[in-house]
Amino acid sequence: MWTIPGVKTGNLWDIFCKVIDNFGDIGVCWRLSASLAARGERVRLWVDDASALAWMAPEGANGVEVRLWTRPIATQGLPMGDILIEAFGCEIAPEFIAFYISKTKTSGKKPVWINLEYLSAEGYAERSHGLPSPVMTGPGAGLTKRFFYPGFSAKTGGLLREPDLEARQAAFDRPAWLQRQLGLTCQGERLVSLFCYEPAALGELLDQLAAAGQTGQRTRLLVTAGRATAAVKAYILNKNSLNPSWNKDSSLLFSYLPTLTQYEFDHLLWACELNFVRGEDSLVRALWAGKPFVWQIYPQHDDAHHHKLEAFLDMLAAPASLRAFHRAWNKLDTPPEAAPGSGLPPLALPEWQAAISTARSRLLQQDDLVTQIMRFS
């Protein structure tokens, strides 16, 4: 168990999470819950669909109780918690707030109520972090929520990071893991992981990797289960029908992965020379992996994700080549650096590696999110 100097442990946290899609919300909430428990806290994780935890965290975590968020929510016989976390604006059930209020009348204490927001490098994260939000209506009227913004600067709530992360990375045996987990013995090919939605530039990426293989740089693409596998297989089926020789001599190799636990997903990122990630949780894990990566940001109908991506690239001090690739991968524009007939610029891994290593070193100097949220509460 890891302790935080000056912070009392043993609180009971109620963390509320709604699974919207793609399991990113529950992925973040599980890492938060497990990390709190590892520091001596107790957690009730309320979630409306816990099915993903069967493969994401099959062993569970001591100190974390997963409870189904029913309608209405079941509160009979529950002890009162100390800290409420409303993850990503999910709006805690009013009957649960009423339950808390009734308990405060007998205990004489008010719970700490935290609104955990989405991760962003945009300026509003610093400006809004820690601000109060008085509750004006409903059973919680009179209480005050506090905004907690994860982020990349000392003026935000930091990033999720386990205290033993660097030690685990240092002890990681790449060849042994590849053989044990994936049955792979590499023969000098470059390893690239792919965790994505359905990027419009996916076909161009596969063409680029296949072409590199024909000139000496073979690549093995490690494709994650779910949408990434479906997208890759659909592209290959279509490509094979139009141009059967596009991947001549299997210059681009494919390995389709099973669902991975969160720990094994970390290992996947550590094992690869380039990682394609999506959403919030895998972005943070790619940063800690310290390898070149490309992030597919979740698209928003009002194109707000454009500003979010640019702010992240600014934080990263991304070189022009990495900015251009991100913009093309996320369909923000077609950069002038792109190769003829392609929307994707070439990979510039040494340049990307330098920028990401520098950013990682800087971020490791900041307190992690769990340390900060425990102090905050």
- Return the domain boundaries, the chain: 12-157, 165-364
Q: Are 25 and 53 in contact (CB under 8 A)?
A: no
Number of residues that this document lists for the chain: 377
- Model pLDDT for residues 27-47, shown as the tens digit of each residue: 999 999 999 999 999 999 999
Taking domain 12-157, whether its CATH number is 3.40.50 is answered by yes
- Write down the pLDDT at residue 335: 52
165-364: same fold as 12-157?
A: yes
Please tell me the CATH code under which domain 165-364 is placed: 3.40.50
Tokens of 372: 């900060």
Q: Is 91 exposed, middle or buried (0-12, 13-18, 19+ CB in 10 A)?
A: exposed
- Write down the pLDDT at residue 332: 85
pLDDT category at 333 given cuts 50, 70, 90 is low
**What proportions of the chain, in percent to the nearest 5, are helix, strand and coil?**
40, 15, 45
Packing angle of the helix pair 349-364, 304-316 (nearest 10 deg): 80
How many other CB atoms are there within 10 angstroms of residue 230's CB atom?
12
Give the chain's mean pLDDT.
92
pLDDT category at 6 given cuts 50, 70, 90 is low
CA distance 146 to 40: 23
- Write down the pLDDT at residue 101: 83
307 phi-psi bin (left φ>0, alpha ψ -120 to 50, beta other): alpha
- Model pLDDT for residues 351-366, shown as the tens digit of each residue: 999 999 999 999 999 9
Residue 310 is among the residues annotated as catalytic for this protein = no
- Model pLDDT for residues 85-115, shown as the tens digit of each residue: 999 999 999 999 998 888 777 777 777 899 9
pLDDT category at 231 given cuts 50, 70, 90 is very high
Q: How large a percentage of the chain has pLDDT more than 70?
A: 95
- Write down the pLDDT at residue 342: 54
Amino acid at 330: N
More confident position, 62 or 22: 62
More confident position, 187 or 322: 322
Q: What is the DSSP string of 292-311?
A: -EEEEPPP-TTSHHHHHHHH
- Model pLDDT for residues 292-308, shown as the tens digit of each residue: 999 999 877 777 788 99
Q: Spot the catalytic one: 14, 86, 266, 280.
A: 280
Q: What is the DSSP string of 207-247?
A: HHHHHHHHTT--EEEEEPTTHHHHHHHHHHHHHHHH-TTTT
Tokens of 206: 């596969």
- Write down the pLDDT at residue 302: 73
Q: Are 298 and 305 in contact (CB under 8 A)?
A: yes
- Write down the pLDDT at residue 341: 45
Q: Spot the catalytic one: 25, 266, 281, 368.
A: 25
Residue 25 is among the residues annotated as catalytic for this protein = yes
**What is the mean pLDDT of the segment spanning 213-219?**
89
Q: Are 108 and 39 in contact (CB under 8 A)?
A: no
- Write down the pLDDT at residue 340: 45
- Model pLDDT for residues 236-293, shown as the tens digit of each residue: 999 999 998 899 888 999 999 999 999 999 999 999 999 999 989 999 999 999 999 9
- Write down the pLDDT at residue 141: 87
- Write down the pLDDT at residue 213: 86
Least confident of 71-75, 102-106, 183-187, 206-210: 102-106
* pLDDT for residue 210 is more than 90: yes
**Whole-structure pTM value:** 0.93
